[in-house]
């Protein structure tokens, strides 16, 4: 299924281990907007990659417990990740890096999923986000020896936020940035809003695809997005097999294992993509209580069970296509 295009400008690509879709309300702005997006993604990767030996985060993770000065972008990403942990009471924890390594996610995802042999090491619970010492003023971070930070989804969501805001500020057009299901819009939207199709268990990383992006073979839920961010987290796409075990990337910090949730997907709208991503990931981890939690926060959300039944809260809209 492909959602119809609602913007004159559109480009797709691949970065940060995910698909990338950029839409602009002005076709003449597209190429310059894509250059700005590309620069932002390259900068985020150089700062926050867990796999690149030349990345700043690599230095932090391999500093053997010594404090490491970091640049402004990694400092911003660290602040976002630690805020997510604090706001979710540790559900979204950036110290799950070793947990992911033990589960075989120790390299770029496309490479990691090719390895299917049985795991050789036991699960590793996360040491906890409070073990991270971060001085945001001096931009210095220290993690205990052996602790591996994984900024993962929050850094990707931050990239979507930063890129959309920068493109709108520089070019003055409406823009939608979709990074593997982490969506941020800025500037004046098309008439009626940005048409976003959210598929719950498809073959693209992240689920939602904004106007013009493929959403897979299953039925898609369509909403119109006018401002802010939208994110979908789920267990159906970024998964892999090791031995007889099917694994995915949403880790329960207390066990170091993929969470066994009653939800297969959670979509949340918020003021920023970072906020939306934080809430959607926490919803998968919290399970049944997530609906009341999101409603209490006033965050529109759609939670999908494994049988396809959906629960909506806080004014999540009806499907724009009427179903």
Is the Cβ–Cβ distance between 103 and 247 less than 8 Å?
A: yes
- Greater confidence (159 vs 247) lies with 159
Residues 140 and 238 in one domain: no
**176 and 289: one domain?**
yes
In the predicted model, is pLDDT for residue 250 greater than 90? Answer: no
By the 8 A CB rule, do 319 and 224 touch? no
132/173 same-domain check: no
pLDDT of residue 254: 93
Cβ-Cβ contacts under 8 Å for 173 (sequence gap 6 or more): 24, 25, 26, 29, 33, 167, 187, 188
What pLDDT, on a 0 to 100 scale, did the predictor assign at position 94? 97
Same domain, 183 and 298: yes
Helix (H), strand (E), coil (C) string for 187-243 = CCCCCCCEEEEEECCCCCCCCEEECCCECCCCCEEEEEECCEEEEEEECCCCEEEEC
- Domain identity same for 100 and 123: yes
Q: What is the pLDDT of residue 210?
A: 42
Please report which residue ranges of 21-142 form alpha helices under DSSP H.
Answer: 30-48, 56-61, 72-87, 97-102, 109-112
The verdict on residue 212 lying in a domain is yes
pLDDT at 296: 97
Are residues 168 and 23 both part of a single domain? yes
Residue-wise pLDDT tens digits, 125-152: 999 999 999 999 999 999 999 999 999 8
Residue 321 domain-assigned? Answer: no
Residue 38 lies in a domain: no
pLDDT value at residue 212:
36
Residue 217's pLDDT band (cuts 50, 70, 90): very low
Residue identified by tokens 């959906």 is 310
Residue 4 lies in a domain: no
Of 126, 158, 140, residue with least CA distance to 285: 126
The closest alpha carbon to 274, from 176, 159, 110, 107, belongs to 159
Tokens coding 215 = 């959403």
**Domain closes at, from 152, 176, 191:** 152
Please provide residue 106's backbone torsions phi and psi, each rounded to the nearest 5 degrees: -115, 10
Q: What CATH number corresponds to the domain at position 204?
A: 3.10.520.10
The tens digit of pLDDT for each residue in 151-176 reads 987 999 999 999 999 999 999 999 99
Tally the domains of the chain. Answer: 2
Residues 6+ apart with CB under 8 A from 307: none
Same domain as 309, residue 193: yes
Q: Choose the final residue of a domain: 115, 132, 152.
A: 152
What pLDDT, on the 0 to 100 scale, is given for residue 213? 35
Tokens of 188: 């004046």
pLDDT at residue 7 in the model = 64
- Tallying the residues shown for the chain, one arrives at 323
pTM summary value: 0.89
Residue 168 inside a domain? The answer is yes
Q: Which two tokens stand for residue 94?
A: 């950036």
Token match 């809260």: residue? 313
- Look at the alpha carbons of 270, 172, 34, 70 in this order and tell me if their dihedral is positive or negative: negative
Q: Does residue 33 belong to any structural domain of this protein?
A: no
Structure tokens at 114: 């090719």
| Domain region containing 173 | 9-28+164-313
Rounded Cα distance, 167 and 85, in Å: 29
Specify the DSSP class assigned to residue 280: H
CB-based burial, 130-167: b 16+ in 10 Å, e otherwise: eebebeeeebebbbeeebbbbbbbbbbbbbbbbbbbbb
Query: For residue 73, what is the domain's CATH number?
Result: 1.10.3980.10
Both 298 and 174 in a single domain?
A: yes
Is residue 7 a contact partner of residue 190, using CB atoms and an 8 Å limit?
A: yes
CB 200 within 8 A of CB 263: no
Please check whether residues 195 and 295 belong to one and the same domain: yes
pLDDT tens digits, 37-72: 999 999 999 999 998 899 999 999 999 999 999 999
Q: Are 179 and 306 found together in one domain?
A: yes
Among 152, 178, 208, give the residue marking a domain's end. 152
pLDDT of residue 112: 54
Q: Averaged over 82-89, what is the pLDDT?
A: 97
39 lies in some domain: no
Task: Examine the domain organization and report whether 147 and 170 are in the same domain.
Answer: no
> Among 176-180, 263-267, 315-319, whose mean pLDDT is lowest?
315-319
- Looking at the fold, whether 171 and 306 belong to one and the same domain comes out as yes
Q: What is the Cα–Cα distance from 187 to 185, expressed in whole angstroms?
A: 7
* Domain contains 226: yes
């Amino acid at each position: 299924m492909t959602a119809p295009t609602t913007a004159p400008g559109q480009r797709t690509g691949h970065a940060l281990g995910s698909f990338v879709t950029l839409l602009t309300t002005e076709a003449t702005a597209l190429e310059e907007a894509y250059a700005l997006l590309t620069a932002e993604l390259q900068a985020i990767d150089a700062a926050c990659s867990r796999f690149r030996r030349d990345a700043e985060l690599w230095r932090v993770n391999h500093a053997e417990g010594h404090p490491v000065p970091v640049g402004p972008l990694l400092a911003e990403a660290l602040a976002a990740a630690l805020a997510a942990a604090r706001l979710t009471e540790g559900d979204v924890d950036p110290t799950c890096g070793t947990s992911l390594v033990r589960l075989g996610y120790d390299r770029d995802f496309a490479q990691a999923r090719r390895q299917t042999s049985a795991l050789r090491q036991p699960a590793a619970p996360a040491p906890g986000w409070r073990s991270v010492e971060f001085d945001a003023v001096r931009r210095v971070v220290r993690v205990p020896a052996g602790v591996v930070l994984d900024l993962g989804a929050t850094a990707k969501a931050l990239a979507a936020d930063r890129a959309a805001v920068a493109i709108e500020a520089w070019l003055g057009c409406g823009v939608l940035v979709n990074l593997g299901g982490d969506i941020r819009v800025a500037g004046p939207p098309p008439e009626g809003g940005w048409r976003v199709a959210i598929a719950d268990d498809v073959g693209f990383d992240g689920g939602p695809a904004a106007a013009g992006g493929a959403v897979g073979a299953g039925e898609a839920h369509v909403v119109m997005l006018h401002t802010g961010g939208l994110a979908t987290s789920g267990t159906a796409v970024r998964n892999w097999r090791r031995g007889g075990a099917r694994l995915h990337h949403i880790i329960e910090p207390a066990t170091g294992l993929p969470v066994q949730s009653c939800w297969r997907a959670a979509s949340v709208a918020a003021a920023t993509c970072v906020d939306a991503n934080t809430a959607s990931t926490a919803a998968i981890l919290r399970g049944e209580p997530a609906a009341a939690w999101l409603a209490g926060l006033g965050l529109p959300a759609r939670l999908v069970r494994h049988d396809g039944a959906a629960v909506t809260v806080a004014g999540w809209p009806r499907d724009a296509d009427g179903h």
